[in-house]
Amino acid sequence: MAVYETILYEVSAGVARITMNRPDKYNAFTGKMIAEIIDAFRQAGKDAAARCIVLTGAGKAFNAGQDLGDVPGAGGAVGQDGAANHGDMLRSRYNPLIMQIRNTELPVIAAVNGVAAGAGMSLALACDMRVMSERAYFVSAFINIGLVPDSGGCYFLPRLVGLAKAIEIATIRDRVTAKEAHRIGLVNRVCSAERLDEEADELAAKLAQLPTRAIWLMKQTMNRGLEKGLAETLEQEAYAQEIAGRTQDHREGMQAFLEKRPPMFKGV
C-alpha cells in the first residue's frame, strides 16, 4: 500500500478512509496533497476490500481550499507576467481531482469535521453524501479574494440548493452553519463533533453492504440525468439496468427474497 505524506489512508471493514492531514494549515491543498488524494481514490477504486470511501480532515478543519502560501509558481502554473496562472492550476490539479472523485466506482461520503472553505467546500460538495459536525461550517471564500467558485463550486452548489441561494452563499454570506446546511439540503446529516466518525462509519458500513455495482450505475444515471431530458434518462436507466441485471448481487438479491432471508451482497 502506498505511503503518503499529506494524507492518511486506511481500509477497514469494507471502508476506505482518506484523511487530509495538514492540520496546522487547516488541510489546505498543495499540489502534492491533490496528487495524493487522487492516488488514494484510485487505490480504493481498485481495492476489492473497499466498497465505500470516507473523506475527512485531521484536526480542526475539513479543508481550507488552496494553500494561499503556495500559489505563485506552483507546479509550473506560472503566467507570462510571473503571476500564477489560475486556469492552468485548475486544469492540471483541481479539475482532475474532482473528476477522479466523481468517476470513482464507489460511494463517497465527506465527513465534514470542521470548516470547508473555497475548493475545500467544492470538494465536500463533489462527494455523494455529506455528514457534518455541528461545529463545522461552509465558507465559499472565493469572493473574498476576488475569485469565482471553482473545483465544481459553480456546478454543485446551484444543483444542491438552487440558483438564488447558491449566488447568495457565494457572495454575501460569511458562512453556512451545519444547521442551515442541513436545512437547505447541502448535507445529509448533522451530528455532534464527538459522534462524527461514528456517524460516518455507520453510514459507510450500510453503503458498503449494498450492491456496489448498482450504486455506481445509479450514481452515473442520476448525475447524467441532471443534464438530460426524460427520454435520454429512461434510455440510460435501461442501459444501467441491463448491466445491473447481470451482476451476482442482483441474483443474490432475487434469491434472498424468494428464500425469505437477508441478502449477502458481495459488490460484484
Cell digits for 144? 473574498
Please report whether residue 147 would count as binding ligand LHQ according to CB under 6 A.
Answer: yes
Looking at the Cβ atoms of 11 and 74, the one nearer to ligand LHQ is 74
- Taking the C-alpha atoms of residue 180 and residue 133, their distance in angstroms, rounded to an integer, is 12
Q: Give me the least distance between CB of 91 and ligand LHQ, in Å please.
A: 11
Is 150 an interacting residue with respect to ligand LHQ (CB under 6 A)?
yes
Distance in Å, CB of 116 to ligand LHQ, minimum: 8
| 26 near ligand LHQ (CB under 6 A) | yes
- Smallest distance from ligand LHQ to CB 267, Å: 34
Give the Cα separation of 179 and 112 in Å (integer). 13
Least distance between ligand LHQ and beta carbon 110 (Å): 16
Number of residues that bind ligand LHQ (CB under 6 A): 21
Asked if 17 contacts 50 with a C-beta cutoff of 8 angstroms, the reply is: no
3-state helix, strand, coil in the chain (%, to 5): 50, 15, 35
Choose the stretch contacting ligand LHQ; rule: CB under 6 A; options: 12-20, 134-142, 158-166, 186-194. 134-142
Say which residue the cell 482532475 belongs to.
96
Chain-centroid distance, C-alpha 254: 31
Distance from C-alpha of 81 to C-alpha of 268, rounded to nearest angstrom: 52
For residue 173, the minimal CB distance to ligand LHQ (Å) is 12
Grid coordinates representing 170? 457565494
Stretch 53-72 residues interacting with ligand LHQ (CB under 6 A):
64-69
Residues present in the chain in total: 268
**Binding interface with ligand LHQ (CB under 6 A):** 25-26, 28, 64-69, 86, 89, 115, 117-119, 139, 141-142, 145, 147, 150
